[in-house]
Structure 1
Amino acid sequence: MTSNLTSPLFLLDCGSFNYHDLDVVIPCLYFAMFPLALMLNGVASWVSLHLSSTSTFMVYLKNLLAADLLMTLTMPIVAASKLPTSSVGLRLFSCRYSGVIFYTCMYTSITLLGLISLDRFFKIVRPCGRLLGQNLVFGKVLSVSVWVALFGATALPTIILTNQGASNKTDASCMSMKSPAGVRLHTVVVVFMDVLFWAVSILVVVCYMCITNKVLQSFRNSGSENSQGKQKTKVRVFLVLVVFSVCFIPFHIMRIPRTIQQTNNVNGCSQVSINIAQKVTLWLSTVNICLDPLLYFFLCREFKEKLMGMLNRKGTPSQITSGTT
């Protein structure tokens, strides 16, 4: 994570746009989002603790909740480090620890969203794939593997190689705090994460389109004229794809040119638009941690029933196990 709070771009005269205002507004947007994100993910985590992990779907869902909640907890430090008045020590802590965890959790969430879509694909479209794809032990091992792979291969090396410290307040960017090996690693990690994201994006789109086609085909084969059921299926798929696309695609379009700018130390008015777009699209990606819990409520019947049962306090709700979105 790079801070441009005191970078040369801040000193350039690039027209009427006030770069300083952006560096204040964006952190404020993070601070404003934090209470809502904490409440939604806190409630979602509370509900998930009362759902049995008896299916791969629920295993992936609980791991997704954990990633979103951990990402939420890092948000205040990340936001504070982006303020123009933040100390060098705070920026160093964010660059080395909280910012790294923030990004890694985001990609953990993206990967788990891909696994959830694949799980639904195996359940609805290719039942023959249940032997492995919906095996509970396999799901738990795969979830742990995602955490170990992303944190072990990207987060931990980044933390270790962000070891230079800021020489002065005017050069307190994350890139200046990395060793030469850390700068090279940063480029490799960004490319890897981008490839991972686009691979997961293709997987999510293909799986949900196949699921939609399968469900609509089942309606046709049964001779059902359940237009309401067909409409619900289309709306569910539409919501998942829109949330995923709007939150993550803009940021990943900007990620590669932003990394080229960082690693080559390119500055100038021609780069201002890249910096602005990167800051705004990163915040937009973070909005996903508020939308995920809402999707659980609207798309997962078991989650909704358990939440409503706990809120209504109508005795002890029956034990709810895993289900489909």
Structure 2
Amino acid sequence: MDITNNTSLRGNQTDLNSVFTRQVLPVLYLVICVVGLVLNGLAAWIFFRMSSSSALIVYLKNMVVADVLMLLTFPWRIAGEAGLGGRLLKELTCRYTAVIFYLSMYAGIVFMGLISLERYVKIVHSSSSTSCSSSSSLPSAGSLCSSSTSCSSLLRHVRCARALSFLAWLLLLLCMLPNSFLSNQQLPASSQWSCMKLKSELGKEWHRMSIMLSMGIFWAMLLLLAFCYASIALRVYRSYRRLGRGGNQQVRRKSNRSILSILAVFFICFVPYHVCRVPYTLSQNRDASPYVLFQAKEAMLFLASFNVCLDPVIYFLMCRTFRESLLQRLPCCTRPTHEPARRGSFSNGISISNL
């Protein structure tokens, strides 16, 4: 979350900056802060009352933690844009809350990638393991299938999910936290404000390195999501072709919604920001951030922040346990105890109600 003072701009650009980044965006951040706190507070209350019985729930719990951390940085940004706190608040924002913001954003991106990998293993490889059993009479095929099955089982194990979650947080902390410690320079009172001017020479180099690493994480997760959900969509399509036109259309709609929800959030919130981030970072490293790039970056950063309001939709559509726990707490949606829950499945027995 870069803070840049553009008071050196002249004419209508300064007026536009004061209207958009100093008045419009703080109000929008206040709205998503309130809505996000309500939605994620409810999600946290439900998730942390249930056991981590699957890798999916482990990853979703970590996404809730990342969203709550991001939400905690919004009041600091709103107060800074409102002119409260003066130079001290700006320094605190540059050194700490901005780092927490980006840490939580990329944590959410990583866990979206891990969720897609878990769904891919469950939907695609669980069915392939069934076909492997029929060819296990051949020695080479049997050994290949057994190794693939064991790897798939490992990736879906709760302990493996916890280990991957720990490694993800550790990697991001090692990448992001030094930006706080290396922003240790004193800024003269008469100097134009910029977070980059708080950084030492080592801090500037680390800033560039951390941006490159975080951008690499984003593009790697984008490719992972594209591969996993293309494979899942192909698997679902082939299964419904075997079911024929008389298959369960309701189950098909549910599977499509769950597949598309995480892709929609990822592409709406994170792709525009990272496309805009490349030219902005190049201009920032030259100590000259063009006005148009700064405005575009701030707008796209708001879209990235909006994921705290959209992630609860992912929890509802992707996690049956979360969905049932939420509906049980809504009087209008409570199902009679004698009425069994309906669950759809593929013709080969693979349930997609928790897809």
Tell me the TM-score normalized by structure 1. Answer: 0.90
> Which residue does the alignment assign to 2:203?
182
User: Post-superposition shift, 1:293?
Assistant: 0.7
Q: Within 5 Å, which residues of 2 pair with 1:1-325?
A: 1-8=1-8, 11-13=9-11, 18-24=16-22, 25-84=24-83, 87-127=86-126, 128=149, 129-151=151-173, 153-168=174-189, 170-223=191-244, 224-267=246-289, 271-312=290-331, 324-325=354-355
CA distance in 1, matches of 2:66, 2:288: 33
CA distance in 2, matches of 1:85, 1:262: 26
> Which residue does the alignment assign to 2:350?
none
Which AA in structure 1 matches 2:230?
Answer: M
CA distance in 1, matches of 2:248, 2:209: 50
- Higher RCO (Cα < 8 Å, 6 or more apart): 1
Decide which moves more: 165-174 or 195-204: 165-174
Tell me the TM-score normalized by structure 2. Answer: 0.82
Which AA in structure 1 matches 2:124?
Answer: V
CA distance in 2, matches of 1:263, 1:167: 20
User: Post-superposition shift, 1:82?
Assistant: 3.3
User: Post-superposition shift, 1:205?
Assistant: 1.7
- What do you get for the CA RMSD once the two structures are aligned? 2.2
CA distance in 1, matches of 2:268, 2:2: 23
Q: Which runs of 5+ in 1 are unaligned?
A: 318-322
Which AA in structure 1 matches 2:303?
Answer: L
Which AA in structure 2 matches 1:89?
Answer: L
CA distance in 2, matches of 1:51, 1:15: 51
CA distance in 2, matches of 1:83, 1:5: 14
CA distance in 1, matches of 2:258, 2:265: 11
Percent of aligned positions that are identical? 34
CA spacing shift, 1:84–1:99, aligned 2, 3 Å: same
CA contact (8 A) 2:5 2:192 kept: no
Which AA in structure 2 matches 1:4?
Answer: T
CA contact (8 A) 1:124 1:214 kept: yes
User: Post-superposition shift, 1:169?
Assistant: 5.8
CA spacing shift, 1:284–1:314, aligned 2, 3 Å: closer
Cα deviation digits, residues 142-169 of structure 1 (max 9, x gap): 1011111101x22221111011133226
